Structure 1
Amino acid sequence: MAKNILITGGSGLVGKRLTTILQEKGYNVGWLSRSDSAMEGNIKVFNWDIPKEIIDEAAIEFADVIISLAGAGIADKHWSDKRKEEIIHSRVDGINLLYSKVKNSAKKLDCFVSASAVGYYGDRDNELLNESAPPTNEFLSLCCQKWERAADKFNQLSIRTVKIRTGMVLDKNEGALPQITKPIKLGLGAALGTGKQWISWIHIDDLCRLYITAFENNTMIGVYNACSPLSVTNTEFTKTVAATLKKKLWLPNVPAFALKLVLGEMSKIVLDSTKCSANKTIQTGFKFEYGELSNALQAIYR
């Protein structure tokens, strides 16, 4: 019998692609959604209402594996104090609700897989960061710490729990890459800040395959970095995108002070330096199909 995979955040960037790949592999996929329970194509949609602490009980009965991807977009709005709370609660509250419902259910999950982010590590210059590197007290790091602590509750239920600390996800139509390529296509591309800050990135298909590996490989437990083995600097990233699109770069770097003026604290998304190790992920036997940035971009824009 094919396993049933329940996804939160299924209609998001990663969720949609992951759903397609799961179905191609023969898995049954369900989504938790704020809409009424129904079928969306061949996806079973179950209702949940986090503020009201409601989940369709059939969702828990359906699930052999839960993959938690839900969360408000980090870069969708400026980081007011209210928005920061929304970003945290949109990740933590849903997991807490799932935990309470699974705890009180007779259904035994095979695995719980939760998204996290390399923002856990904060701004770390040239340091190569493995999963044991300590967090910082910056907002993104604190958010990820709370996110992961919520996921860790599933360990109390003797459910194998995997946390995927994700770098910049590369996709042609959604996420950061279209925003980066837009000025480059117009001939107005430039590196940001010093350009020396490291970017840990991953092709969306590699990320989706890692999520699947996380529940298929029974030896995986705890936290894993989801990023290419070859991080690049902001300057290298910008130049590689431009070369792939056959565009020239001629403008000077965008000064950090200008980005801070426009974006406020949210400028840390593009100015922080995070260089992550993929060694622990590779040691599970996982192989990156797109380990080099040029190959990843060529596959995206072919």
Structure 2
Amino acid sequence: MAKNVLLTGGTGFIGKHLTNVLIDNGFTVSILSRSARENTPLITYYKWNLKTNYINENAVLEADYIIHLAGEGIAEKRWTKRRKRLILESRIKPIDLIFSILEKNNKTLDAFVSASAVGIYGAITSHKICTEDTPPANDFLGTTCQEWENAVDKVNTLDIRTAKIRTGIVFGKDEGFLKKIVPSFKAGFGAVLGTGKQYLPWIHVEDLCQIYLKAILDEKLHGAYNACVTDNTTNARFSRTLSNLFGYAIWLPKVPTFVLKIVLGEMSQAVLKGQRASSEKIQKTGFEFQFTDLEKVLVTCLN
């Protein structure tokens, strides 16, 4: 009988891709959804509502694996106090609710895998390459990711194998990060942000889905893993590569740091700072990235 994977955030950009990968590999998929959706032979939808602390318990009790992808977008709105609280709670509350169901019913899982982010290393720009042993930063991104991962570690106390996938910027065709930024570049208004020296850790969505697949299949995977290509992509390199693909060299001046701080507020840290992250740990498990050339990846995503 096919094993079942329960996804939070299953209707989002990454979740939709991951659902297809899981089904292609013989799993059935359950998805927590805020609205009613029609089930299919391989996908079952269950209601949940974080505002009322509700999850249909059957979704958890029937799962063999759980993958937690849900969370409010980091760069969707200005970081007001309320927005910061939503960003944090949307990541932690689902884990706490799932934990309570698991504990109450003495339910075990083959694995609990959660998204995390390379933002745990902070909104800092340096030449340092961060590994999974690099201490979390004390800024908003760092502390948010640390509390996120601490919630995952709580599940581990139930003797359930846990893995935390620290993700960089995710590239995909007409989706995610590129969906937001491509229109301005396509129109000829691409520009470098700030100094342009900030690193941009990235990964193609198909590689990311394969890492999640490996995380549930490989019983040796436990703890945190960086999920991004380790290269020297900076904001300037990315911007110039993208504009070249649209047939022009960037002609606009760099968007000044102070302008972005005025427009974006504290959230400007997310685009003005960035460090590299090592992928050595996940590669030592036998994982091989299929998408490592920035220009080729962007061509794939644009066509």
**Same fold by TM-score greater than 0.5:** yes
Counterpart residue identity of residue 57, structure 2: E
Between 132-141 and 48-57, the greater mean CA deviation after superposition: 48-57
TM score, norm. by length of structure 1: 0.96
Q: Contact 1:37/1:47 (CA < 8 Å) preserved in 2?
A: no
The SS at the match of 1:39 is coil
- Give, in angstroms, the shift of residue 179 of structure 1: 2.2
**Distance in 1 between the 2:115 and 2:302 partners?**
26
**Number of positions where the alignment pairs a residue of Structure 1 with one of Structure 2:** 302
Q: Which residue of 2 aligns with 1:47?
A: 47
The SS at the match of 1:298 is helix
Q: Using a 3 Å threshold, how does the CA distance of structure 1 residues 186 and 38 change in structure 2: closer, same or farther?
A: closer
- Superposed, which structure 2 residues align to 1:137-286 within 5 Å? 137-286=138-287
Q: Contact 1:187/1:248 (CA < 8 Å) preserved in 2?
A: no
Between 179-188 and 10-19, the greater mean CA deviation after superposition: 179-188
Return 5+ residue gaps in structure 2 as ranges: none
- Give, in angstroms, the shift of residue 52 of structure 1: 2.9
Aligned alpha-carbon RMSD (Å):
1.5
- Give, in angstroms, the shift of residue 40 of structure 1: 5.4
Q: Contact 1:185/1:247 (CA < 8 Å) preserved in 2?
A: no
**Distance in 2 between the 1:44 and 1:91 partners?**
22
Q: Contact 1:116/1:144 (CA < 8 Å) preserved in 2?
A: yes
**Distance in 2 between the 1:125 and 1:181 partners?**
27
**Distance in 1 between the 2:259 and 2:37 partners?**
46
Instruction: Please say if 1:10 is aligned against 2:16.
Output: no
Q: Which residue of 1 aligns with 2:31?
A: 31
The SS at the match of 2:137 is coil
Q: Contact 2:188/2:243 (CA < 8 Å) preserved in 1?
A: no
The SS at the match of 1:199 is coil
Q: Which residue of 1 aligns with 2:292?
A: 291
The SS at the match of 1:108 is coil
**Distance in 1 between the 2:111 and 2:20 partners?**
20
- Give, in angstroms, the shift of residue 135 of structure 1: 1.2
The SS at the match of 1:11 is coil
Between 176-185 and 157-166, the greater mean CA deviation after superposition: 176-185
Q: Contact 1:77/1:83 (CA < 8 Å) preserved in 2?
A: yes
Counterpart residue identity of residue 183, structure 1: S
**Distance in 1 between the 2:41 and 2:245 partners?**
35
Counterpart residue identity of residue 67, structure 2: I
Q: Contact 2:91/2:148 (CA < 8 Å) preserved in 1?
A: yes
The SS at the match of 1:7 is strand
Q: Contact 1:230/1:292 (CA < 8 Å) preserved in 2?
A: no
Q: Contact 2:230/2:276 (CA < 8 Å) preserved in 1?
A: no
**Distance in 2 between the 1:231 and 1:103 partners?**
44
Q: Using a 3 Å threshold, how does the CA distance of structure 1 residues 41 and 71 change in structure 2: closer, same or farther?
A: farther
The SS at the match of 1:157 is coil
Q: Contact 1:148/1:163 (CA < 8 Å) preserved in 2?
A: yes
1:52-83 residue CA offsets vs partner (Å, 9 max, x unmatched): 33222221222100000011111111110011
**Distance in 1 between the 2:91 and 2:62 partners?**
22
Q: Contact 2:174/2:301 (CA < 8 Å) preserved in 1?
A: no
1:16-41 residue CA offsets vs partner (Å, 9 max, x unmatched): 11111111222100101223475157
Q: Contact 1:68/1:115 (CA < 8 Å) preserved in 2?
A: yes
Q: Which residue of 1 aligns with 2:117?
A: 117
Instruction: Please say if 1:78 is aligned against 2:82.
Output: no
**Distance in 1 between the 2:111 and 2:37 partners?**
23
Q: Contact 2:116/2:166 (CA < 8 Å) preserved in 1?
A: yes
The SS at the match of 1:152 is helix
Return 5+ residue gaps in structure 1 as ranges: none
1:234-292 residue CA offsets vs partner (Å, 9 max, x unmatched): 11111111223333311121111111111111111110122111100111100000012
